[in-house]
Amino acid sequence: MENSLLIKNARLSDGRVLNIFCREGRIRSVGAESPGAERIIEAGGRWLMPGIIDVHTHIRDMELSHKEDWASASASAARGGVTSLCDMPNTRPATFDLPSLEAKWAAARKSLVNYGVNFGVTENNHRQIEQARGINALKMFMAESSAGYVVQQPGVIRRVLRLSQKLNKPLMVHSELQSCVEEHHKRYSHDMAHHHLLRHRECAIEATRLLLQLQKEEGGYLYIAHVATAEEAAMIAAAKAAGQTVWFEVTPHHLFLNTGHLKNNGNIGKVNPPIRQASDNRALQQALIDGHVDTIGTDHAPHTLEEKNKPYDQAPSGFPGLETSLALMLRLVHEGRIRRERLEELMCRRPAEIFGIKDRGSVREGAWADLIIIDEEKSWTVDPAAFFTKARYSPFAGMRLRGAVVTTIVNGRPVWHEGRLHPSKGMQLEYR
């Protein structure tokens, strides 16, 4: 049968072992049937889950293609089980207007996986935001982080919250106050050992408190990216309990790394918001277990190793995360702290629901056939030299992880299978 794929003996998160039949890019049946197909993949009882949706990535490309481009980032994504990527606006050109949005769409067409774009917020580009079509979310930076633009004025934030409701698009926020960061830069010496103090936790806590208060007053849809402190986790959980429409993203590095891990990493571990304390790891993990955390974002932020090796003040913040995120999150499954269904909710279903992404994030008839097969027992050591991303370094280098993606299927076609990449072309994400 032309353009068809049958995945046999796949174990779903609820334990059922079924066959998944795909044709013309979509799932056509999930059950015991075994129809003829152009291609058959034997899952052998391994876990099949929906392809991961990562709404928080920095793909670079265009004038920053020396750091990363859509070809290298999407290869990295496919290997890590990520079937849909959404790029942040702090590219060059920055995605703050319609011409830059069109340039990004053009660059993204070489992606092996599906792609979306987050549109940047400035003080005065609300008309451009209203005219933008097909975007994933609005993205606002409240502190400088290679963003090119900072917004922290309450009046502007109020207007953008109202706009998020009008457009039915989440406002995704990097929640640190630039004025607070600047004040702390006067207090500490500028080196990696003080990065978490130069961008003090108070700056994130103040920003999140302000955002929650403004959202309570104005409404709108608020998505707080890469939450890193215990205090923010508690505030957001309380706001959610009170009925506010606010969502909570964490990254694997804020869940599993703390300042004690970074002593020998130098600028490799430089990221914004900074890696915090072990107590923050515990609080974020508990918030995830308790159901307060909505999504996992990698904040994949590639730079060249030469750039990261510059003196602290000149070295950019960020590191790659697409090839390590799933295996890191599987730690919580292996430890019995979350169920497989909860991991799928965090990495697949909830991103699709929150951002209104059509027909992705679940294993069901009629959905696009974005699927991954995982060998949960396969152990491997993080070796950045073997990454597909151009950013071949990681604060997780040398860590032993358990669980690896053996097959990644995008729109019904295997992209990563049997240890190698296969030619493919992703699609622009569609929204409800």
The domain that holds 410 is classified in CATH as: 2.30.40.10
Please give the mean pLDDT across all residues of the chain: 96
Share of the chain above pLDDT 70, in %: 99
Residues 255 and 277 in one domain: yes
Flag whether 429 is in a domain.
no
Cα–Cα distance list, 274 to 81, 218, 238, 298, 310 (Å):
26, 29, 24, 14, 18
Residue 148 inside a domain? The answer is yes
pLDDT higher than 80, residue 303: yes
Pair 74, 319: CB distance under 8 Å = no
- Identity at 249, one-letter amino acid code: E
Q: Token digits for 315?
A: 């070295």
Phi-psi region of 412 (alpha: psi -120 to 50; beta: other; left: phi over 0): left
pLDDT score at 256: 98
Answer yes or no: is pLDDT of 154 > 60: yes
Residue from 76, 86, 135 nearest 115 by CA: 86
| C-alpha to C-alpha distance for 29 and 6, rounded to whole angstroms | 10
Report whether 212 contacts 156 (CB < 8 A): no
Please report which confidence band the pLDDT of residue 140 belongs to, taking 50, 70 and 90 as the band edges.
very high
| Cα→Cα distances 268→54, 100, 307, 388, Å | 22, 30, 10, 18
Residue 188: burial class (beta carbons within 10 Å; 0-12, 13-18, 19+): middle
- Quick one: 91 and 124 in the same domain? yes
- Contact of 427 with 419, CB cutoff 8 Å: no
Check whether residue 34 and residue 116 sit in a common domain: no
Whether residue 157 is found in the same domain as residue 29:
no
User: Is pLDDT at 10 greater than 60 in this prediction?
Assistant: yes
Grade residue 34 by pLDDT with cuts at 50, 70 and 90: confident
Which distant-in-sequence residues (6+ apart) come within 8 Å of 362 by Cβ? 50, 348, 349, 352
User: What was the pLDDT predicted at 146?
Assistant: 65
Whether 174 has a pLDDT exceeding 80, the answer reads yes
Q: Which residues does residue 41 pair with via DSSP β-bridges, in sequence order?
A: 7
Confidence of residue 148 (pLDDT cuts 50, 70, 90): low
Q: Are residues 21 and 147 in the same domain?
A: no
Q: If DSSP codes are grouped into helix, strand and coil, which group holds residue 3?
A: coil
* Domain limits for position 32: 4-48+365-382+402-421
Q: Are 74 and 111 in contact (CB under 8 A)?
A: yes
The pLDDT confidence band at residue 5, using thresholds 50, 70 and 90, is very high
Domain count, the chain: 2
Same domain, 42 and 104: no
**147 pLDDT above the threshold of 60:** no
Mean pLDDT of all residues in 53-59: 98
pLDDT for 262 equals 87
d(CA 402, CA 404): 7
Each residue of 56-92: b (16+ CB within 10 Å) or e?
bbbbbbbebbebbbbbbbbbbbbbbbbbbbbbbbbbe
CATH number for 165? 3.20.20.140
* pLDDT for residue 144: 85
In a domain, 406, yes or no: yes
- Residues with a known catalytic role: 299
Whether 311 and 411 share a structural domain: no
Q: For residue 430, is it within any domain?
A: no
CA-to-CA dists, residue 159 to 29, 153, 229, 240, 243, angstroms: 45, 10, 27, 21, 21
Q: Which of 202, 137, 148, 156 is nearest to 175 (CA)?
A: 202
Decide: 403 and 378 in contact? Cβ < 8 Å.
yes
Average pLDDT rounded to a whole number, residues 81-94:
97
The DSSP secondary-structure symbol of 352 reads H
Q: pLDDT by residue (tens digit) across 224-233?
A: 999 999 999 9
Question: Residues 201, 255: one domain?
Answer: yes
The verdict on 59 and 9 lying in the same domain is no
Q: Return d(Cα 177, Cα 264) in angstroms, integer.
A: 28
The average pLDDT across 126-150 equals: 90
Sign of CA dihedral 215, 165, 299, 128: negative
Select from 53, 54, 71 the least CA-distant residue to 62: 71
Cα separation, 294 vs 161, in Å, equals 19
Residue 394 lies in a domain: no
Whether 390 is in a domain gets the answer no
Q: Is there a single domain that holds both residue 334 and residue 370?
A: no
Residue positions counted in the chain: 432
